[in-house]
Structure 1
Amino acid sequence: MQPAPKATFLTRLNDQIAVKMTFLFGSIWCVYAFFVFSLIPLAAPAWQNTLLYISNCIQLVALPALMVGNAVLSQASDQRAAEDHQALVEILNDVRAEVAALRTMTSGIAQKTNEASKHPSSEMISFANEAIINLNDEPGESAPSAPQSK
């Protein structure tokens, strides 16, 4: 993506005027004003040709102003979307790196679990040197007692 060319004072001023006109023509107050303007020929029929001329002039000015204002506003929206896209790509790359690290760790755990399952089990298990359990004893046989301390 190319960096935007440096805007001159005149370009910034034109953009600001176009955006303000877009907001002005897009307001409900402008709708009310044009509605009242359209009712004037009912009260003063002699003014109809003059009002028609004024109406055409407003349309000729408003249409290009609205188009320029929308273009300026869409440029800002496109820039925000590009920045959001770049941030999401960076987050996605970070997530991919984390997933790769987790896969490496879990594969190591799986290998250790497989190796541990291949070793024969011991016959005696000791819990903190207090109890010894003989795994080969039949149920009901007594296990050797733990060493007594005095």
Structure 2
Amino acid sequence: MTNQSPKSSLISEVNERVAVRMTIIFGSIWCVYGFLVFSLIPLAAPAWQNTLLYISNCIQLVALPALMVGNAVLSRGADQRAAEDHAALMEILNDVRNEVTELKTVINDLTRKTDEVAHRPPSEVVSISDEAVINVTDEAPHVTPPAPTS
């Protein structure tokens, strides 16, 4: 947690906004066109060449640090978004891992139960319901009536 005063925070915010705005302006195609026209002025007025060279150097001295600060501020936002995306993806990955673990448990239970049924000895008497019992060892199928209930 920073202990900046409100005045210092305001100045820092204004500086960052100016740097970002300058980065956007210097990164536009219109700035390229403006500098192209600026660079062609000595062709029309050769006497102004030294003055224009001085102005050009001043622009470079101001623009370079402003562009660096603007890029740092803009990349801070991108870094924050990347961290948030990473956290969300890790949460999704953990959910998927939990679901896969649950699926593996269900598959293992089904496999175990299937193996138990496959290795169980065959039964001689099969009861379809409470009313009919079939003896599978008899040659002719016959149904035994249920015992009378009292």
TM-score by length of 1: 0.79
Taking the TM superposition and a 5 Å limit, the aligned residue runs for 1:1-150 are 8-122=9-123, 143-144=141-142
Q: What whole-Å deviation, never above 9, does each CA across 1:73-106 have from its counterpart, x for those lacking one? A: 1111111111111111111111111111111111
| Deviation at residue 120 of structure 1 after TM alignment | 2.4
| Deviation at residue 136 of structure 1 after TM alignment | 6.2
Unaligned runs of 5+ in 1: none
| Deviation at residue 126 of structure 1 after TM alignment | 7.8
Distance 1:68 1:134, change over 3 A: same
Unaligned runs of 5+ in 2: 146-150
Letter of the 1:78 counterpart: D
| In 2: Cα distance, 1:120 partner to 1:40 partner | 102
Q: What whole-Å deviation, never above 9, does each CA across 1:5-54 have from its counterpart, x for those lacking one? A: 87811111111111110010000000000000000000000100110010
SS at match of 1:98: helix
| Cα-Cα RMSD | 2.8
Letter of the 2:32 counterpart: V
| In 2: Cα distance, 1:78 partner to 1:5 partner | 23
Letter of the 1:20 counterpart: R
| Deviation at residue 121 of structure 1 after TM alignment | 3.0
Letter of the 2:79 counterpart: D
| In 2: Cα distance, 1:136 partner to 1:40 partner | 111
SS at match of 2:97: helix
Aligned length: 141
Q: What whole-Å deviation, never above 9, does each CA across 1:45-69 have from its counterpart, x for those lacking one? A: 0100110010000000100010000
Task: Provide the identity percentage.
Answer: 62
SS at match of 1:121: coil
Task: Using the TM superposition, name which of 43-52 and 117-126 deviates more.
Answer: 117-126
| In 2: Cα distance, 1:38 partner to 1:126 partner | 100
